[in-house]
Structure 1
């Protein structure tokens, strides 16, 4: 079934404020424009210096001032006003805390973002490669601005932990190597699908600018090792005050951290008990570990090589889209393309990038395979495809992009709240189980393993960063990073390389990892409250449609919008 395009909605005063703010952010951050597929700023970077951060903060304060005098014209406006006041107000708090000056971790800081933008740049034409060459030439300026901010943060006593600095040094060393990312990008430059050969001057520019980019990352390595590392604290824990601020950033809601920690402990126990029941179904009397060994030894559940992994991901994703479209969800034809790819890096992790505004670049699921890993098990990853694709992130993000007639630019393209987005993706995994797509005991074990990992994150993240008492079932005393690593190793059934990556990620990005499971909890609480309120009139499909059409908002805003 082909769905009609959304009915147009006249822009209101609040929409105009939101759209103008979005245009300001696009002008200040050309990489953001690239992520949306917008033309015009293909070679530039945002100003990573303190001046650049202040420019964004000034624009945010101005937008908040304008919103203070605006009255909502309809329900869409009411949600926008609630969401923008919450998000922008928190952005100002984060800026004033000073911690944006010390933004450094192993997954989502300028050290990664400056390089990662090249993953989203088109490569179909000669002009595309000219843009890539020009942006390569601007890497050095972006890195210099970032170093200035890190130095300013250090002057205020705000420095990431030693573990994060060392990890980022290792990452940047790989990019700065003679055979690293930038060199590889330039040497292998070619237009897509057998297009025209690149002119010699473009090839020369790519090689020259790639060398400059490589050297810029070398300079970043030197700064981090020689200047920042000696100032970095040994302690990984960030403390209650900073953690509470970060938790709000990733949830769009303030939760009772001690109560949430206790819930995480109980949820972990519950999931382990459910896994034990599934293990019994795989083989009577088998432990969870024994059941997994049986699954891992099953040739029908094994993949060898990244090409086989990519093909399997794509086929499973296509099946989910085809099955769910028109039955469980309304999925317009333009949203049904989802590309599964191997990421160009080897840092670990699986992630999703949304489509361009016109869907000419489809949504993409990326698998970053650590070096040396070449074997994969389908039972462990079926649920991941649903998490990243449909009905997870792709359905969520692409729906917001599609709703251009209903949602203003800020709602569609700027507002992304981890607890909402990642909470939905975990909610989607459970939904696929409810719909029978994880009826196979192996696939269900994989889903439960993922849920167990996310529950363990709640315990680890809050416990370590707030230095809370360890539950008796997992040890004694208070949490430390080292005790936390042992706890993760017992609950995350992943390779050592992935475990190290995840461990460093949780320590360096406080509040983000628990937002998945806490977000799922809040999504389910809102759904259940809505079902109780509507009684026999409750429709799960209609609930999902209304919720997804809101776009990504903070979880307090989601509750307000769906429950009143």
Structure 2
């Protein structure tokens, strides 16, 4: 029996390793992000003609995995088997929708038009080979743009284009990248400082710079061509409906997008109704809290009062940073052992965000601790952050949120396909390998809730900040399904959120445009949190007075990112084993 199990496990590991090498061959830009630099002279390839060969390859892996007898696998092995199988099956199921979302690679949120900085920042620049590889990549960008346009022409032909709200900002984003002097381009940055500091011989550097400049000149031409194509060809053919329900089989496509992001079988109606229930529940909590504060206006009135009152804002970047440090290291960290056990000892840091992005975000560290997990805080306009929002944001991004989630996963010795998730090309689902948004972001929102159990929301105003954050995610369930399935208009969606959340009209318009661009993605946060809470309550009822929430949290975290239906299997199996 042990030999048979060992053989089956060896087969699984062998297929996983073969799959991973194929994945990196197929996605060389992703390979660079993972720290594998063997393909740094190549770019990702795009084209309708590539869908079938990729499908055939993945289906081949899936058939081999399905042939493995997993009956004698232990819990960890079974989890790995089920997650791998789910990843392959998700891609195979998505093939049906290859002529839908996947044909629209350019939008205001992503694509080389939106953010080439990441492309530069993930690449090493030390040896001559590093610079030669990067020049080869630069030389291939015009071809990649041409491949983008071919996909978008197919989208026009199929009648499956974006709405113009996804495209209006793109010409301006391209203008920001266009330069007359190519040495001022973001693409040229490595050839200034990095080249001077590198091991490249001085007599070779001028030739490298000259070839880089020629490559970037061609990229500028490709940008201009792309801008012209978008304005003259694509935007006049943009879909006129707000949601993808205007496409042929659009409602079914949206159902597939929801399943991809949620990793659950839920209909848009079920998600919409759950959103309405949550909005009502959270609204009651907010009204009770405002009453306790002595505020008699509406929810938007309360948050306007917060925005307008200087005492709820910090005007110094340094003071804002110190405040976050106090929340995380003096308030949250000391209480973690109430809810968690065997916490991995990996470092964290709080740093200024190097660009003007969202209010805060987390970037994972390394398993050996050489690079800490970093909470990046936007300090450019410190006064824009209300102090009542700081606790929930800090808990979401650091502990017990994404930092804790990350260090458990880093300590779990996961196979590469689970350790590294490709959080890009968010336009592609359902034809994409999953990165388990509902698990990752569901945990972040659940971590905000855990702040209540830890007593960290120590006054009603800060508690309102938490409820405001939760209400925002609950409204997304209603609005995302409304836009893509129930024929809502953009104004209807913005108006719904304006009446119930803390955000401004400008912010909400940007949010709603995001929902129209990435169908289903915004639903993952709240549905993931609700699933984790549901599984916790199931375990609590099963174990009664012997329920240990720390044990529950270990089961949830120690397997790293998982589809929610696999998480449910893991919790059910734990309950069965421990109680029987």
Shared fold, TM over 0.5: yes
Larger radius of gyration: 2
Which of these residues, 24, 28, 31, is aligned with residue 29 of structure 2? 31
The alpha-carbon deviation at position 314 of structure 1 amounts to 5.5
1:381 aligns with 2:387: no
The alpha-carbon deviation at position 205 of structure 1 amounts to 5.8
The alpha-carbon deviation at position 287 of structure 1 amounts to 4.7
- Quick one: distance in 1 between partners of 2:217 and 2:459? 51
The alpha-carbon deviation at position 308 of structure 1 amounts to 5.9
- Quick one: distance in 2 between partners of 1:181 and 1:428? 45
Are the equivalent residues in 2 in contact too, given 1:119–1:344 (CA < 8 A)?
A: no
Match of 1:140 in 2: 142
Match of 1:444 in 2: 463
1:519 aligns with 2:528: yes
- Quick one: distance in 2 between partners of 1:129 and 1:282? 60
The alpha-carbon deviation at position 138 of structure 1 amounts to 3.8
Match of 2:171 in 1: 169
Matches within 5 A, 1:327-342: 328-329=339-340, 330-333=342-345, 335-342=346-353
Aligned residue for 2:44, secondary structure, equals: coil
Which of these residues, 530, 545, 551, is aligned with residue 536 of structure 1? 545
Query: Relative to structure 2, which stretch is displaced further, 216-225 or 320-329?
Result: 320-329
- Quick one: distance in 1 between partners of 2:543 and 2:270? 29
Match of 1:93 in 2: 93
Matches within 5 A, 1:19-98: 19-72=17-70, 73-98=73-98
Aligned residue for 2:167, secondary structure, equals: helix
Matches within 5 A, 1:333-412: 333=345, 335-344=346-355, 348=358, 350-356=360-366, 360-366=370-376, 375-404=384-413, 407-412=414-419
1:420 aligns with 2:439: yes
Match of 1:12 in 2: 10
- Quick one: distance in 1 between partners of 2:169 and 2:50? 25
Seen in structure 2, the aligned counterparts of structure 1 residues 396 and 212 have a Cα distance that, compared at 3 Å, is: farther
- Quick one: distance in 1 between partners of 2:145 and 2:319? 37
- Quick one: distance in 2 between partners of 1:383 and 1:48? 40
- Quick one: distance in 1 between partners of 2:38 and 2:335? 37
The alpha-carbon deviation at position 67 of structure 1 amounts to 0.6
Match of 1:458 in 2: 477
Match of 1:558 in 2: 567
Seen in structure 2, the aligned counterparts of structure 1 residues 291 and 500 have a Cα distance that, compared at 3 Å, is: closer
Aligned residue for 2:513, secondary structure, equals: helix
Seen in structure 2, the aligned counterparts of structure 1 residues 39 and 322 have a Cα distance that, compared at 3 Å, is: farther
Aligned residue for 2:169, secondary structure, equals: helix
Seen in structure 2, the aligned counterparts of structure 1 residues 459 and 317 have a Cα distance that, compared at 3 Å, is: same
Aligned residue for 2:188, secondary structure, equals: helix
Match of 1:259 in 2: 270
- Quick one: distance in 1 between partners of 2:332 and 2:147? 43
The alpha-carbon deviation at position 495 of structure 1 amounts to 4.1
The alpha-carbon deviation at position 418 of structure 1 amounts to 0.9
Are the equivalent residues in 2 in contact too, given 1:530–1:538 (CA < 8 A)?
A: yes
Indicate the RMSD between aligned Cα atoms, in angstroms. Answer: 3.5
Seen in structure 2, the aligned counterparts of structure 1 residues 349 and 75 have a Cα distance that, compared at 3 Å, is: same
- Quick one: distance in 2 between partners of 1:77 and 1:291? 51
- Quick one: distance in 1 between partners of 2:182 and 2:331? 36
Query: Relative to structure 2, which stretch is displaced further, 519-528 or 491-500?
Result: 491-500
The alpha-carbon deviation at position 453 of structure 1 amounts to 0.5
Are the equivalent residues in 2 in contact too, given 1:14–1:77 (CA < 8 A)?
A: no
Are the equivalent residues in 1 in contact too, given 2:344–2:407 (CA < 8 A)?
A: no
Count of matched residue pairs: 540
- Quick one: distance in 1 between partners of 2:187 and 2:384? 26
Matches within 5 A, 1:109-124: 111-112=113-114, 116-121=118-123
The alpha-carbon deviation at position 364 of structure 1 amounts to 3.8
Are the equivalent residues in 2 in contact too, given 1:420–1:554 (CA < 8 A)?
A: yes
The alpha-carbon deviation at position 35 of structure 1 amounts to 2.3
Seen in structure 2, the aligned counterparts of structure 1 residues 137 and 161 have a Cα distance that, compared at 3 Å, is: same
1:292 aligns with 2:286: no
Measured against aligned partners, the alpha-carbon deviations of 1:97-141 in whole angstroms (never above 9, x if no partner) come to: 122123444335565465533343457889867765554444333
The alpha-carbon deviation at position 399 of structure 1 amounts to 2.4
Measured against aligned partners, the alpha-carbon deviations of 1:222-263 in whole angstroms (never above 9, x if no partner) come to: 222222112221112112211110000101111133233122
- Quick one: distance in 2 between partners of 1:170 and 1:51? 31
Matches within 5 A, 1:186-335: 186=188, 201=206, 209-239=215-245, 240-283=251-294, 285=296, 287-296=298-307, 299=310, 301-304=312-315, 312-313=323-324, 316-319=327-330, 322-323=333-334, 326=337, 328-329=339-340, 330-333=342-345, 335=346
Match of 1:154 in 2: 156
- Quick one: distance in 2 between partners of 1:552 and 1:182? 40
Seen in structure 2, the aligned counterparts of structure 1 residues 319 and 243 have a Cα distance that, compared at 3 Å, is: farther
Are the equivalent residues in 2 in contact too, given 1:353–1:363 (CA < 8 A)?
A: yes
- Quick one: distance in 1 between partners of 2:546 and 2:178? 60
Aligned residue for 1:44, secondary structure, equals: coil
Are the equivalent residues in 1 in contact too, given 2:55–2:92 (CA < 8 A)?
A: yes
Match of 2:557 in 1: 548
Are the equivalent residues in 1 in contact too, given 2:350–2:377 (CA < 8 A)?
A: no
